[in-house]
Structure 1
Amino acid sequence: MEHSRRVGMTAALMTYLIWGVLPLYWNLLARADANEILAHRIIWSFFFMLLVLALTKRWQAFKADCRALWQNKRRGAILLAAAFIISINWLTYIWAVNHDHVIDTSIGYYINPLMSVLFGVIFFREHIGGIKKFCILLAAIGIFLMTYQLGSLPWVSVVLAVTFSVYGALKKQLQLNPFSSITLETLLMLPFALPYIARLMMSPENHFSLATPDLALFLMGTGVVTAVPLVLFSYGANLLPLNVLGFFQYISPTIGLLLGIFFFHEEFGLAQISALAFIWAALALFTAAEGLGGRK
C-alpha cells in the first residue's frame, strides 16, 4: 500500500512538473504559428498514443471502448465535443505562451478548480455550502478587479479556465479510460489537422522541413510532451485519493507564474497581484473546506 502511494505521488508530481514547465517547450516553437503547433500536437499525440497503447498492451480495452462508443451515439457526441473543447484550450495556451501571456495562463489554471466546482453545480446539480460559494465569489472579485484595472477582460485566463472545466465536465459524463480518450480525441481532430499541415507543407510558412530540422523535431516532440504527462496522471489518479491529487494541481500554475515573472519577464503589476490575492484566498478557503468535510 505504501509503495503504491509513493508511486502515485511520484507520478502526480512528475505530471504537474511537466505541465508547469511546458511554457519553456512552447517557447522553443515560437517561430511557428500557434495553429501550426496545434495541428502538429494533434497529429503526433495521436501516433504517440498508438505507441503507448501497443506498449502497455491496451489494444483490447481500446477496441472495447470504440465499440461501446459506436453503439452509444450520445457518448460519441460527448467525446467529439470534448475533442473540440480541449483543442481550443491547447490553442489558447500555445498562443498565450508565445504572445507574452504566461502569467495569464497561470491565473487561468488557478481559477480552474473553482470553475469546476461551479460547473458541477450547473451541470450535475451538485450541492455546495456557504464556504465554497464564498470561494467562487472571491475568485470572481479577483477577475473583476483585474478587468477593471487593465481595462479589458483577461480573456486568456477566462478561456483556459472555462474550456478546461467544460472539458472536465464532459469527461465526467463520458466515463472513458484516459488512454482511449486522448487517442480518440486526437483521432477525431485529425481530419482538421492533417489537411491543414498538408496545405502548409506547400507554402513558405511551413516550419516542418529540412530547412528547419531542429524545429521539425520539436514539433514532433509535441506528441511526447502531451501524452507522457497524461499517462503519468492516469497512474497518479488511480493510486492516490482525490484530495491528495488535488493538492498537486497547484504546482503547475505556480511554476507558470514564476516562469512568467522571472524567465519571460512579463509585467506583474497591481492588476495581477490583486487578482491572485483574491484567487489564492479562495483556494486556501476551498482547500480548508475540502479537508473539513467536502461540502462546507
Structure 2
Amino acid sequence: MQSEKSGILWVVGAFLFWGIMPIYWKHLEHVQSEEILAGRIMWAFVSTVVVVLLIKNGKQLIEDIRELWKSQSQFWSLFIATVLITANWFTYIWAVNHDYIVQTSLGYYMNPLVSVLLGIFFLKEKLSSSQKIAFLLAFAGVLILTVSYGKFPWIALCLAITFAVYGFIKKNIKLDALRGLAIETLFITPFAIGFYIFLFMKGQAVFLHMDVKTDILLIFTGVATALPLVMYAKGVQMIPLYVAGFIQYIAPTMMLFIGVVVYKESFGGIELLSFSLIWAALLLFTVSKIYHSVSTKRRVHETSK
C-alpha cells in the first residue's frame, strides 16, 4: 500500500510537470521552434548520459545498444519511435509558441483513444459497448471542432497520433526509461548538432548570441525532458495501469487552463461543447476500463481460493 501511494505521487508529479511545460516554452517563444527542438534533443542526450554515468549504469547502456543492434527489428523500431517523438516535440513546441495551447491539450486528451484504436487494428483487441459509445462521443467532439474551425485540427491529431504510435512501438521494446531516452536522443543528436552548425554558420543561432537567461533555458530543456519521464517510469511500476491512465488527464487539463486563463486563447461555446463530448468520452472510457480491471482481479482472486 505504501509503495502504491509513492507510485501515485511520482506519477502525479510527472503529469504536473508536463502540465506546466507550456509556460516554460512560452519563455522561449523568441527562439525558432527548430532551434528549441535541436537544443532539447542535444541537452536531453547530455543530461541523460550524465545521470546514467553518475548512477554507474554506463556499462548497461553500452550493453543495451549492443542488444538492440543484435535485434535489427527492435533497433529500427526504436529509430522509428525516435522520429515520431521528435515530430511530437516539434509540433508541441511550435503550437505552444504560436498560441495553440488549447489544441495541444485536445491532442493529449485524444491520445489514449488513439492508443486503443491501435490496439483494435493491430492487436485485434475488442471494445465493450460503453467503449464504442465513448469513441462515438469523441469523434463527434472532434467533428464539431473541425466544422467550427473551418479547418482540420491537425495539431491535435498530429500530437495524439505521434505520441500514441510512439507508445505503441515502445511497449514492445524492453528498455530502462532513462537509458532508453539516452539511446533515443543518441539516434537524433547528430542531426541536431548538424542543424546547430548550420545555424551558427548562417549567423542565425540564438544560443550564445542573445542573453544568459535564454542560454540557461535552452540548456535546461534537457532536464525538462528527462526528469518527468524518469518520475513517470519510477511511479508507474508501483501502481495499476488504469490508475496511471486516469492520472494522465492532469496534464492536458492544466494545458487547457493555462491556454485559456493565462494566455487568453479563444474558448467559446463551440469549444466547450466539443471538449465536453471528449471529456464525457474519456470519463466513460476510463470508468469502463477500471470496472473491467477490478472485475478481472476479483475473478482471479475468487478462482485462486
Which residue number corresponds to residue 170 of structure 1?
169
Residues of 1 paired with 2:194 and 2:284: CA distance?
Answer: 48
Q: Is the 8 A contact 2:22 2:101 kept in 1?
A: yes
State whether residues 43 and 219 of structure 2, in contact with CA within 8 Å, keep that contact through their aligned partners in structure 1: yes
SS of 2:170's partner is helix
**Residue-pair matches, total:** 295
Q: Distance in 2 between matches of 1:205 and 1:99?
A: 20
Task: State how far apart, in whole Å, the 2-side matches of 1:5 and 1:25 are.
Answer: 30
Distance in 2, matches of 1:131 and 1:262, equals 33
Residues 37-76 of structure 1 show CA distances to partners (whole Å, capped at 9, x for unaligned) of 0000000000000012123332233222211101000001
**Are residues 1:154 and 2:153 paired?**
yes
Residue of structure 1 equivalent to 2:125: 126
Specify the alignment match of 1:240 in structure 2: 239
- The answer for the alignment partner of 1:205 in structure 2 is 204
Q: Report the counterpart of residue 117 of structure 1 in structure 2.
A: 116
Letter of the 1:252 counterpart: A
- CA offset at residue 275 of structure 1? 1.5
Please name the residue that 2:68 is paired with.
69
Q: What's the counterpart of residue 12 of structure 2?
A: 13
List aligned pairs for 1:138-149, cutoff 5 A: 138-149=137-148
Aligned CA distance change for structure 1 residues 154 and 70 (closer, same or farther; 3 Å): same
Structure 1 residue 272: Cα displacement? 1.6
In 2, Cα distance between equivalents of 1:19 and 1:71: 34
RMSD: 1.5
Partner of 2:186: 187
Q: 1:253-282: CA deviations, max 9, x gaps?
A: 010000001111000023321220110010
Q: Deviations over 1:185-230 (max 9, x none)?
A: 1110012100101111233421101532211110001000000001
1:72 is aligned with what amino acid? S
Distance in 2, Cα, partners of 1:153 & 1:186: 31
Alignment of 1:272-291 (within 5 A): 272-291=271-290
Instruction: Write the deviation string for residues 62-112 of structure 1: whole angstroms up to 9, x where unpaired.
Output: 222211101000001100000000000000000000001000000111111
CA gap of 1:287–1:211, structure 2 versus 1, over 3 A, is: closer
Letter in 1 for 2:22: P
Q: Is it true that 1:85 corresponds to 2:84 in the alignment? A: yes
Query: Compared with structure 1, are the counterparts of its residues 45 and 251 closer, same or farther at alpha carbon in structure 2 (3 Å cutoff)?
Result: same
CA distance in 1, matches of 2:56, 2:3: 21
Conserved? CA contact 1:118–1:136, under 8 Å = no
TM-score by length of 2: 0.93
Unaligned 5+ residue runs, structure 1?
none
Instruction: Extract unaligned runs of 5+ from structure 2.
Output: 297-305
2 CA distance for matches of 1:27 and 1:77?
Answer: 34
Q: What is the CA distance between 1:180 and its match in structure 2? A: 2.1
Contact 2:178–2:226 (CA<8 Å) still a contact in 1?
no
Greater displacement, 221-230 / 115-124? 115-124
Equivalent residue of 2:105, what SS? Answer: helix
**How high is the TM-score relative to the length of structure 1?**
0.96
- The residue identity in structure 2 corresponding to 1:9 is I
Mapped to 2, the partners of 1:241 and 1:173 lie a distance apart of 19
Matching residue's letter, 2:206: H
